[in-house]
């Protein structure tokens, strides 16, 4: 996945930084194109590429250089989310999740949604649960 071997010339083609990371400008978040996830800012960028993708050497330096030249980035956990019904961010994976029907609370964990609903001041409607299944 990380390297392609060209059998005709016996060379290894290494992806450029633009094939590895991208900035999602509406939220100013750094995206890893290899695992299709958003990367937290700061030291987490280096940690992600070292631990998840086992990157070292010149390519890691290039990735960190790209990030430092375009940062600082927002934390994907706290960045503003795209509006409901907006176009999917193609560089990110789609996950099954849950949405509160009373507020903008979103999660992929059903237990977290149930906890949110029971601890919030939302009112149940005819005894029905206060969340729906959605794609995140």
Per DSSP, the three-state class of 60 is helix
Q: Where are the domains of the chain?
A: 4-70, 96-135
Tell me the pLDDT tens digit for each residue of 78-132: 877 766 666 777 777 777 888 888 887 888 888 888 788 778 777 666 666 678 7
pTM of whole model > 0.85? no
Quick one: pLDDT at residue 75? 84
pLDDT: which is higher, 71 or 133: 133
Average pLDDT of the residues in 50-69: 86
- Pull the structure tokens for residue 14: 């290494």
Whole-number pLDDT of residue 124: 65
Rounding to the nearest 10 degrees, give the CA dihedral for residues 72, 78, 80, 85: 130
Can you tell me the distance from the alpha carbon of 82 to that of 85, in angstroms, rounded to the nearest whole number? 8
Largest Cα separation within the chain, whole Å, is: 69
């Amino acid at each position: 996945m990380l390297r392609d071997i060209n059998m005709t010339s016996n060379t290894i083609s290494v992806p450029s930084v633009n094939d590895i990371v991208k900035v999602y400008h509406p939220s100013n978040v750094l995206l890893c194109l290899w695992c299709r996830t958003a990367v937290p800012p700061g030291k987490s960028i280096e940690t992600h590429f070292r631990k998840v993708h086992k990157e070292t050497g010149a390519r890691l330096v290039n990735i960190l250089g790209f990030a430092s030249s375009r940062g600082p980035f927002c934390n994907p956990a706290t960045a503003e989310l795209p509006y409901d019904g907006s176009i999917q961010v193609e560089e990110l994976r789609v996950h099954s999740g849950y949405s509160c029907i009373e507020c903008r609370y979103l999660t992929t964990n059903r237990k977290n949604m149930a906890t949110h609903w029971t601890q919030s001041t939302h009112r149940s409607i005819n005894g029905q649960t206060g969340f729906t299944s959605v794609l995140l």
